[in-house]
Structure 1
């Protein structure tokens, strides 16, 4: 019998609900454009009484553990990155989700920041390099802040990262933003920054799983849902 991931096991000690129900609700929340009340109604149709606020609590508790599990089995990305930021509303104000994909469209990494400036962009690049290795090329738009951040990163390197500011080459990441925004739209904004960061990480993980970015056993072809659930074990 497979053992529970230690991180999941610790979380479950504080959540006294069936694991299958919790994972089903959390996966659907980050995989489809559904509100918490939609999920409450869907579970009621199955004879399971779950309050929408409870689903939110499950997501906040479980998603950080699942993101860590995913990163342990994430496939390597390419060395040519396309980086851009998109907007997410938190407590009625726009915040900035920094994202990048490689030239094949695979997600490199993501980071939610309160401001759109050099410091935020540099923090994003440093995190992405730490998690994914150093790229050979980074393509950005005409943002002066992103350019300054890359110059700051290069100042610490013997071999600089090649920087390209070519808008049409960033079309692939701009299109990829749409998959994230499609899921967040029914949520009608986030109530606080911490919750936004956690929920967005779950959406990003599910999006990467769909794109085939999770390592699986040779000869197997598990569905996206099966891959999501496998992170618990």
Structure 2
């Protein structure tokens, strides 16, 4: 099975001394469904597989960033009409800001976790999203002044500016997507490290 895996994923798995199918199953369930680490420990025990919840957590931390990079390389092209918004994620007891965008079909465009909610954070998100996915024709946002300012700054010097729309009902699709992430992250009771939510909270909703 290891021979069929992405080389970077296989390299990480090589250092984890446990059956590959068990590791991948635990990590997939943890990243895709609203399950706690303790839920997974019990579910594996019911199947005759004894693995500590802390071990599952270590697997997730090691594997998910690598899997996210592998999935991104095979990610299908997104549309040119984006819906962008940010939501809150608790990291070490403090609220951080997860910037996300989907296209009008609901496919994930990009995401970025930032410590602050301001123009600089929004602009960094848009620059990353454009670099990875190409420039959109239009972006629908909420009434956030920092998001408007970031897009206006991005439009400076562009031959074809990105159209900025502030239409609340059109942003329902990304707001509904946020709810799915909240359902996924609630059982975790927050994250311990800043990189963790950026690795897998949106991964369960992306369509590749």
TM-score when scaled to structure 2? 0.95
Pairwise CA distance, 1:206? 2.6
| Residues 1:206 and 2:204 aligned together | yes
1:63 aligns with 64
Cα displacement string for residues 40-72 of structure 1 (whole angstroms, at most 9, x for unaligned residues): 111111111111111011011111111111112
Pairwise CA distance, 1:156? 4.3
Cα displacement string for residues 167-207 of structure 1 (whole angstroms, at most 9, x for unaligned residues): 2211111111111111101111111212232232xxx2232
Cα displacement string for residues 54-92 of structure 1 (whole angstroms, at most 9, x for unaligned residues): 101101111111111111211111101110001111111
**Does the 8 Å contact 1:98/1:111 carry over to 2?**
yes
Paired with 1:150 and 1:36, the residues of 2 have a C-alpha distance of 39
Runs of 4+ in structure 1 over 3 Å off: none
2:75 aligns with 74
2:140 aligns with 139
SS in structure 2 opposite 1:163? Answer: strand
1:161 aligns with 162
**Does the 8 Å contact 1:60/1:199 carry over to 2?**
no
Q: Which structure 2 residues correspond to residues 35-46 of structure 1 after superposition, within 5 A?
A: 35-46=36-47
**Structure 1: tracts of 5 or more residues without a match:** 215-233
1:95 aligns with 96
| Residues 1:28 and 2:26 aligned together | no
Paired with 1:32 and 1:84, the residues of 2 have a C-alpha distance of 22
Paired with 2:4 and 2:29, the residues of 1 have a C-alpha distance of 24
**Does the 8 Å contact 2:140/2:171 carry over to 1?**
yes
- CA root-mean-square deviation: 1.3
Paired with 1:192 and 1:69, the residues of 2 have a C-alpha distance of 22
Paired with 1:48 and 1:156, the residues of 2 have a C-alpha distance of 59
Cα displacement string for residues 20-55 of structure 1 (whole angstroms, at most 9, x for unaligned residues): 000000000011110001101111111111111110
**Pairs aligned (count):** 207
Paired with 2:94 and 2:9, the residues of 1 have a C-alpha distance of 33
1:173 aligns with 174
SS in structure 1 opposite 2:18? Answer: coil
1:47 aligns with 48
2:7 aligns with 6
